[in-house]
């Protein structure tokens, strides 16, 4: 059954490793994907690679702003050094009512520091910065920080981990969760208000350290939490 | 086989829920436990309860400073509002070479705020405050923040989760891990330097929110991480 157009997701920064992995996994799951990149040529190239990796799926290529116009749900997956500039450039495209899922992590690597350390963000987290910068009426949640890009990109890998979702409105988190859970093996957990993103974002730096130390691609699982449906 | 005296662990704040749960689990595992409390009478009372809950085990009761003198390994499990004062009072007792495992979490509840929010600690985390305050030569690691006190105290509950261990010396983390892993169902993961405790401590606030929301006692598991021995 083909997915309804309402399912379409735009990925801002889809030529990056996390964005690309998400694009491929969503495409395979039957979710139409608007692939966004700063450079339309890189978007085209990424869409071609995604088609070929997924073997199926509906991928279109755009610059970031046009990608954001193409879908009601927009995933923001850019390096933190581009986070503020990207959001400023999306002001026109992010019309009221859109759902913005921010996956950005303020790693110190953004300023040539360690990827195992975080930058202090005045608002508290990248997600709170996004909420401050997004136009009024845009609904902001954060998610997907702890999902390994390498694992998403390796389609032979079975995913089996949790996605920690933060946001100030339960309904927005639910909407994000129902989309994200279309990717097999990802379970979304409501981790509280958007401010808790301070913790979920910083888990990425912790996992990068663990990955280096143990030579793995680790994710997070909340132990002792039974499957609780979002519906 | 009775445990060697070198295995003895002191628990500072053992009349609190986390400290008491650890005492009971260690006692059952054959680790001699020096139960510490600010009030020696409360220590006696906790030791009695621990003996009766564990059904076995070697428990002794002391004020906090004396408990710290009794063992080479000292677990600090106090409310954050008492963290600094407790460490100041332990200055004489914490002799060089001791291993201090800090489980303290700077929840905003310490200042009548929410238990789902963190306080900002100037040093970065409770563990880094402990490292600054501990006498020279005391080895500081942090661990056990994410382990549910309720689950530890319910001996019918099978534990099955990870303990995130931070510290600046691998050997200190290993020593802490080998002790902690004597409790069935706890697996220790090296999560990097002591500064990463900023993240592991804040996970407690996140889990408190999850526990309320889902009516569970959740813990953390690193997904995709095979068992890697510490030896």
pTM, whole model, 2 decimals?
0.95
Residue A88 has pLDDT above 70, yes or no: yes
Say yes or no: A216 contacts chain B, CB-CB below 8 A: yes
Q: Is A189–B202 a contact, with Cβ atoms under 8 angstroms apart?
A: no
CA of A70 vs chain B CAs: smallest distance (Å): 34
Say yes or no: A114 contacts chain B, CB-CB below 8 A: no
- Give the best residue of B121, B128, B203, B224 to mutate against chain A (max A CB count within 10 A): B224
Say yes or no: B174 contacts chain A, CB-CB below 8 A: no
What the block records as the tokens of B126 is 């409770």
Please answer whether residues A139 and A98 qualify as being in contact, where contact means their C-beta atoms are separated by less than 8 angstroms.
yes
Q: Is B160–A223 a contact, with Cβ atoms under 8 angstroms apart?
A: yes
Which residue in B190, B198, B224 is closest to A161 by CB distance?
A: B224
pLDDT value of position A2 = 46
Residue A24 has pLDDT above 80, yes or no: yes
Read off the pLDDT band of A4 (50, 70, 90): very low
Phi, then psi, of A146 in degrees rounded to 5: -95, 5
pLDDT value of position B6 = 61
Interval A177-193 mean pLDDT: 98
Interval B141-159 mean pLDDT: 97
Q: Is B217–A224 a contact, with Cβ atoms under 8 angstroms apart?
A: yes
Q: pLDDT tens digits for B108-117?
A: 999 999 999 9
Which residue in A148, A206, A228 is closest to B196 by CB distance?
A: A206
Distances from the Cα of A133 to the Cα of A38, A79, A94, A125, A137, angstroms: 19, 16, 11, 12, 11
pLDDT value of position A5 = 53
Find residues 130-169 of chain A whose CB sits inside 8 Å of chain B.
Answer: 148, 151, 160-162, 164
Read off the pLDDT band of B7 (50, 70, 90): confident
Q: pLDDT tens digits for A104-154?
A: 999 999 999 999 999 999 999 999 999 999 999 999 999 999 999 999 999
Q: Is A202–B206 a contact, with Cβ atoms under 8 angstroms apart?
A: no
pLDDT value of position B231 = 76
Residue A217 has pLDDT above 70, yes or no: yes
pLDDT value of position B1 = 46
Interval B199-222 mean pLDDT: 97
Q: Give this complex's ipTM.
A: 0.94
The percent of residues above 90 in pLDDT, for chain B, comes to 95
Q: pLDDT tens digits for B39-52?
A: 999 999 999 999 99
Distance, in Å, from the CA atom of A165 to the CA atom of A137, rounded to the nearest integer, reads: 19
Residue B25 has pLDDT above 50, yes or no: yes
Number of Cβ within a 10 Å radius of residue A51 = 17
Q: Is A214–B203 a contact, with Cβ atoms under 8 angstroms apart?
A: no
Number of Cβ within a 10 Å radius of residue B171 = 10
Please answer whether residues A107 and A204 qualify as being in contact, where contact means their C-beta atoms are separated by less than 8 angstroms.
yes
Distance, in Å, from the CA atom of B179 to the CA atom of A6, rounded to the nearest integer, reads: 53
Residue A1 has pLDDT above 50, yes or no: no
pLDDT value of position B5 = 53
């Amino acid at each position: 059954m083909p997915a309804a157009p309402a399912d379409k997701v735009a990925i801002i920064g889809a030529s990056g490793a996390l964005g690309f992995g998400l694009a491929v996994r969503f495409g395979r799951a039957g979710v139409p994907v608007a692939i966004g990149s700063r450079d339309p040529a890189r978007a085209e190239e990424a869409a071609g690679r995604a088609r070929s990796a997924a073997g199926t799926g509906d991928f279109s290529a755009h610059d970031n702003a046009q990608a954001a116009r193409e879908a009601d749900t927009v995933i923001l997956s850019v390096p933190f050094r581009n986070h503020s500039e990207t959001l400023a450039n999306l002001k026109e495209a992010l019309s009221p009512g859109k759902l913005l899922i921010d996956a950005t992590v303020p790693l110190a690597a953004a300023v040539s520091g360690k990827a195992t350390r975080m930058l202090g963000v005045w608002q508290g987290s990248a997600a709170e910065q996004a909420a401050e910068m997004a136009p009024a009426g845009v609904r902001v949640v954060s998610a997907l920080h702890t999902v390994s890009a390498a694992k998403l990109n390796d389609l032979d890998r079975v995913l089996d981990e949790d996605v920690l979702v933060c946001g100030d409105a339960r309904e927005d988190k639910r909407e994000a969760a129902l989309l994200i859970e279309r990717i097999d093996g990802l379970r979304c957990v409501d981790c509280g208000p958007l401010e808790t993103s301070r913790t979920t974002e910083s888990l990425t730096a912790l996992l990068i350290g663990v990955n280096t130390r143990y030579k793995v691609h680790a994710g997070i699982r909340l132990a002792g939490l039974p499957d609780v449906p979002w519906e």
